[in-house]
Structure 1
Amino acid sequence: MPNLPLFRDPWAKREAWRKHPVFSNRAMFSSMFPGFGIAVVAFTAYVVVDNFYGKMQVEERKH
């Protein structure tokens, strides 16, 4: 007798899709917020540039 499990799951073929890498937690989370990473980078760049120009304008007003 081959080395088979004692009890076989008759639904295993129908449940196999749940173990596919597309349905992993990491893939689900990354597809939950598409474009979120780009938005964070763009907003951070905006805040840095705004603070830089804001400080330059304050220094010009002092003179």
Structure 2
Amino acid sequence: MPNLPLFRDPWAKAESWRKNPVFTNRVMLRNMFPGFGIAVVAFTAYVVVDNMYLSAQKSQDPHHH
């Protein structure tokens, strides 16, 4: 087997960046919307507090239109 020719891709080093885990679809999708998770949590907290505040305000003021 030592007499067999060695075939190597001369562009393998230049193309190796494509195999890096940073460029997987999952990572790229997660990085497409940075802060989206924090925004969802903040918006949910806002809606919950707003609904609790409005329900407390309605129960205190019977003349609210």
TM-score class, shorter: 0.7 to 0.9
The higher radius of gyration belongs to 2
- Measure the CA separation in 2 of the matches of 1:18 and 1:45: 40
Cα distance, 1:9 vs. partner?
Answer: 4.0
Residue 23 (structure 2) aligns with: 23
Cα distance, 1:29 vs. partner?
Answer: 1.0
Provide the aligned C-alpha RMSD in A.
2.0
For structure 2, the 5+ residue unaligned runs are none
Residue 43 (structure 1) aligns with: 43
Cα distance, 1:61 vs. partner?
Answer: 1.2
Name the one with the larger helix percent.
Answer: 1
For structure 1, the 5+ residue unaligned runs are none
TM-score under structure 1 length normalisation? 0.77
- Measure the CA separation in 2 of the matches of 1:58 and 1:8: 76
- Measure the CA separation in 1 of the matches of 2:8 and 2:61: 79
Q: Spell out, residue by residue over 1:21-41, the C-alpha distance to the aligned partner (whole angstroms, 9 max, x if none).
A: 010111111111111110110
- Measure the CA separation in 2 of the matches of 1:54 and 1:13: 62
Identity between Structure 1 and Structure 2 (%): 71
